Amino acid sequence: MVLAIVTGILYYYAFIFAPGRIPFPLRIATWKKPVDVLILGTDISYDAETHKVRKDLPVRSDTMIIMHYDPSRAKVVFLSVPRDTYVNIEDFRPHKINVAFARGGKDLTLKSVNDLTGLDIKKYVIVNTRGLIKLVDLVGGVEVDVPKDLYYVDRAGGININLKKGPQKLGGKEAEGFVRFRMDIWGDIGRIERQQMFLNAFFKAACSPLTILKAPFILKIITANLESDLSLKDFIILANTYRMGGLKEVKTFTVPGEPGYNEVGSVWLVNKKELSELISANF
């Protein structure tokens, strides 16, 4: 009896403070198989005169990232899909992939991403900027090495970004600017690199022992600001799996291709051969 109590106390301590030391077969409330999730960040439509959010206007997916997580290998792969990726959109015509969300929401976006990659992603998370700001503030900010000065102001669009180069802790509003900025020669491709940096930093912050104690508040924000086919139980299990597995390997990629221009404007033209090889090697 005493041994059982001591074992329980040690397991609880490890669960909170050293989850990665728990052997894989003994981990509870975790996913055992690899899982793919499409993370979608939606843009916001503003009224040019009032600067207020227009909820009556259709929005496009501003961010598309496929997260592949293999808990048995403690491996995470982030594959970013540029918003201007030129694809065939079902029941429409070839266009930029972010148009799929405006025309058919998550279902058409999932279909378009799966057609592009050859994957069979069913799980998704849609997050808006308000949810992102609240989550970052709740976990106490994220540590990021900002690669260069980022400055951009758009009063009509409600954007005010002013970040200095160097390592720093970003609060919610600063983090929003960090992942949204794309007003330089690298455009969306440069922004994708920063989004991948942010995801790594956020997951590390979200899996700290202190953050676990804030779980009820995190779940409240998730419920109010995220749309997903993952239940609250799934979110808890995914976070717990991530904590226990640690991060032995993290890979970040962008759908390979090159910039181009056609009838729909500036586009990202996919190198299908390289994309197929990337998927085969990492998913």
Domains and CATH numbers, the chain: 2-282 (3.40.630.190)
Tell me, yes or no, if the pTM score tops 0.75.
yes
Q: What is the pLDDT of residue 32?
A: 72
Residue 162 has a CB neighbour count (10 Å cut-off) of 11
Q: Which amino acid is located at 26 in the chain?
A: L
Cα–Cα dist 221/60, whole Å: 22
> What is the reported pLDDT for 89?
94
Share of residues in the chain with pLDDT > 90 (%): 37
212-247, pLDDT tens digit by residue?
677 677 777 877 888 888 876 777 667 666 666 556
Give residue 128's pLDDT: 81
The list of the chain residues with pLDDT below 50 reads 1-28, 46-47, 50-51, 53-54, 56-57
How many other CB atoms are there within 10 angstroms of residue 69's CB atom?
Answer: 20
> What is the C-alpha separation between 11 and 245, in angstroms, rounded?
15
Rounded to the nearest 10 degrees, the angle between the axes of helix 172-180 and helix 129-138 is: 130
The DSSP output letter for 89 is P
Any idea which residue has 């990337």 for tokens?
Answer: 278
